Amino acid sequence: MEVVFLSSEVVPFAKTGGLADVGRALPDALAAAGIKVNVFMPLYGVVESKKAGIKKIKKLSLRFGGRTYAYEVCGKEEKGVNFYFIKQKIFFDREGIYGSLSGDYPDNASRFIFFQKAVLHSLKSLKIKADVIHLNDWQTALVPKFLSNGQSRVPTVLTVHNLAYQGEYDAKSAKYAGLKKSEMLYGSRFNSLAYGISGATAVTTVSPTYAKEMKTKKFGCGLEYFLKKRGPYFKGILNGLDYGLWNPSSDKAIAASYSATSPEGKEKCKKALQKEMGLPQTDAMLVSFVGRLAMQKGMDIMVPALQRLISGKIQFVMLGTGDVHYHRVLSVLAKRFPKNFALRLDFDDDMAHRIYAGSDLFLMPSQYEPCGLGQMIAFSYGAVPVVNKVGGLMDTVSEYSLHRKTGTGFLLEDYSSAALEKALRKAMGIYGKRSRFRELSARCMRQRFSWQKSALKYIRLYNKLIDESGAPPLRPLRKP
Ligand code: ADP
């Protein structure tokens, strides 16, 4: 079986979030299970091609929006996976992936439509015969539309990593996708993700609970109708974690190695983190956050809860970039409480490793969370997660019980700063009983979310779709 896998970001070449981790780990796991995988992504200016050993393979050209564009396919092979990069100066040779500090690039629609068309266009020259095409998020969600134009029967799987990002654009951009006026959704606009959800042979998302939530008005972001219509062809498959990358016993970025059975190094990592962040090297409970500074991640409840909790007994470390409003608010807090609150407004993978390793607790009080990698990484490093009861967080974290000695974290009763404060106070209580807390941290380290298991579920789905591919094509998209 040969799979073509499209992702707008892939570790280690370009990353803004969890999609990049999945874009790497799932193809690796599929290849390990004997599937031939060809991963395609754009070659952005930020990709360090030379360092990564990416080589030019083919020079091609494509008619697009009334012009002819020259582009190159570059590539490299790693661990049995073929990585291909679409190199096109005008669209991709920029510092950012989706935008700059002043916001999203205004031509993102044409950039990613070009990417999708170029991938399909290049397959023949590369002599790739896809049995399945696996798509990820809105940046790749129009592929079923382009395939159906060519009457292709290749099954497609669209994985939705975050329903809130839909790639909705105006009529001007629709012409690049070749959409007619009658095919527009939402009046004069078109919605890439809605097309993908309706047109892909099957749709998946990254956890079973998020799959259920997505069909509700509360979490459906206006697309619940399209998802409900997909019946059994829409389901949740939990992401795994790449334990080759996220493992305190082999991590070169952290101060000392450790594991569940010999956890001594964790204390050294905490001291090193406190020193790096300019925090006093006390045994205060160290709570961290690594992620996008966005509403989704619970910023609005985190800020007031942190303000109420900041004292000598607790230290906060935050690493992230995002909404400038939160950059400002958090910078004020960091200035006011230099001994308890360290902030780094940056994207720094090595620092993220050091933070996970040096923390006692990890904050993830997200409003919604499709799967979440942060809590899985935190588990691996023995940082106990504090999470909201949504999406993948529900599928991975269970409430700690001192009495029964079970559970792997602290869950918020509801989405509020009071509930977050309460959960953190409970955690502080357990932290006070140090042997109990160490037991809990070791239990976290022993959690395993295997990509192998998830990859097998995807393979089962691919096989089912290949078997059924003689079936008549899906019904065309209709507006609710
Ligand atoms: P998202 O919704 O952003 O995809 P996830 O929890 O699924 O959230 O994945 C976030 C990934 O991005 C994790 O690997 C996390 O360590 C990483 N990450 C997020 N922000 C930063 C940052 N500022 N610096 C380094 N790594 C980051």
CA distance 75 to 73: 7
**Which atom number of ligand 1 is nearest to the Cα of residue 161?**
4
Ligand 1 lined by 319 (C-beta under 6 Å): yes
pLDDT at 372: 96
Task: Using alpha carbons only, give the angle 468, 469, 475 rounded to the nearest 5 degrees.
Answer: 95
Q: Whose CA is nearest to atom 20 of ligand 1?
A: 291
- Residue 264 CA to ligand 1 center (angstroms) comes to 27
> 292 CB less than 6 Å from ligand 1?
yes
Burial class (CB in 10 A: 0-12, 13-18, 19+), 268: middle
Q: Residue 435: which residues within 8 A CB-CB, separation 6 or more?
A: none
Q: Which atom of ligand 1 is least distant from the CA of 21? A: 14
Domain count, the chain: 2
- Is the CB–ligand 1 distance for residue 327 below 6 Å? no
Q: What distance in angstroms lies between residue 239's CA and the mean position of ligand 1's atoms?
A: 14
Q: Is the CB–ligand 1 distance for residue 17 below 6 Å?
A: yes
Residue in 290, 330, 369 to alter for ligand 1 test, most ligand atoms within 8 A of Cβ:
290
Q: Is residue 476 part of a domain?
A: no
Does residue 366 line the site of ligand 1, with CB under 6 A?
Answer: no
> Is residue 26 in a domain?
yes
For the record, the structure tokens of 43 come out as 């070659």
The whole-number pLDDT of residue 477 equals 47
The region that residue 362 occupies, defined by phi over 0 for left and psi between -120 and 50 for alpha, beta otherwise, is beta
Q: Are residues 219 and 348 in the same domain?
A: no
Q: 373 and 456: one domain?
A: no
**Cα–Cα distance for residue pair 204/188, rounded to 1 Å:** 28
Atom from ligand 1 closest to the CA of residue 292 = 20
Q: What's the pLDDT at 475?
A: 46
Same domain, 427 and 460: no
Examine the domain organization and report whether 328 and 439 are in the same domain.
yes
CATH number, domain containing residue 63: 3.40.50.2000
Residue 249 domain flag: no
| Half-sphere exposure (Cβ direction) of 352: Cα atoms closer than 13 Å | 20
At 444, which amino acid appears?
C
Q: How far is the CA of 271 from the centre of ligand 1 (A)?
A: 23
Here the tokens at position 151 are 């009457």
Please tell me the predicted confidence (pLDDT) of residue 476.
43
Would residue 252 count as lying in a domain? no
Which ligand 1 atom is nearest residue 320's CA? 23
Cα dihedral 254/260/262/268 (nearest 10): 30
- Domain of 338 in residue numbering reads as 265-448
pLDDT of residue 151: 66
The pLDDT of residue 479 is: 44
Cα torsion through 411, 413, 416, 418, rounded to 10: -90
- Domain presence at residue 132: yes
Best residue among 26, 206, 347 to mutate for probing ligand 1's pocket (most ligand atoms within 8 Å of CB) is: 347
pLDDT confidence of residue 439: 97
Q: Whose CA is nearest to atom 26 of ligand 1?
A: 349
Question: How many angstroms is it from 373 CA to the middle of ligand 1?
Answer: 7
Residue 216 CB burial class (10 angstroms; 0-12, 13-18, ≥19): exposed
- Ligand 1, atom 22: closest residue by C-alpha: 347
Same domain, 402 and 382: yes
Instruction: Give the chain's largest Cα–Cα span.
Output: 69
Q: Say how many Å lie between the CA of residue 272 and the centre of ligand 1.
A: 22
pLDDT by position in tens, the chain (length 480): 999 999 999 999 999 988 999 999 999 999 999 999 999 999 999 999 999 999 999 999 999 999 999 999 999 999 999 999 999 999 999 989 999 878 899 999 999 999 999 999 999 999 999 999 999 999 999 999 999 776 678 999 999 999 999 999 998 888 899 888 777 777 788 999 999 999 999 999 999 999 999 999 999 999 999 999 999 999 999 999 999 999 999 999 999 999 999 999 999 999 999 999 999 999 999 999 999 999 999 999 999 999 999 987 999 999 999 999 999 999 999 999 999 999 999 999 999 999 999 999 999 999 999 999 999 999 999 999 999 999 999 999 999 998 888 999 999 999 999 999 999 999 999 999 999 999 999 999 999 999 999 999 999 999 999 999 875 444 444 443
List of long-range contacts for 248-253, beta carbons under 8 Å, 24+ apart: 248/357, 248/380, 248/381, 248/382, 248/445, 251/353, 251/357, 253/349, 253/350, 253/353, 253/354
User: Residue 99 — φ and ψ, nearest 5°?
Assistant: 180, -170
61 and 113 share one domain:
yes
Residue 67 in any domain: the answer is: yes
Q: Could you tell me the two tokens for 32?
A: 């390990």
Question: Are residues 443 and 460 both part of a single domain?
Answer: no
Nearest to 206 by CA among 392, 375, 396: 392
Residue 425: both structure tokens together: 């106070």
Could you tell me if 131 and 192 lie in one domain? yes
Q: Are residues 52 and 70 in the same domain?
A: yes
What's the pLDDT at 474? 45
> What's the half-sphere exposure (Cβ side, CA atoms, 13 Å) at 1?
24
Q: Is 363 in the pocket of ligand 1 (CB under 6 A)?
A: no
User: Same domain for 395 and 344?
Assistant: yes
State how far Cα 219 lies from the chain centre.
Answer: 17
Among the listed residues 151, 145, 147, the one whose alpha carbon sits nearest the alpha carbon of residue 167: 145
Residue 226 lies in a domain: yes
- 327 and 412 housed in the same domain: yes
Residue 256 lies in a domain: no
Cα end-to-end span (Å), the chain: 36
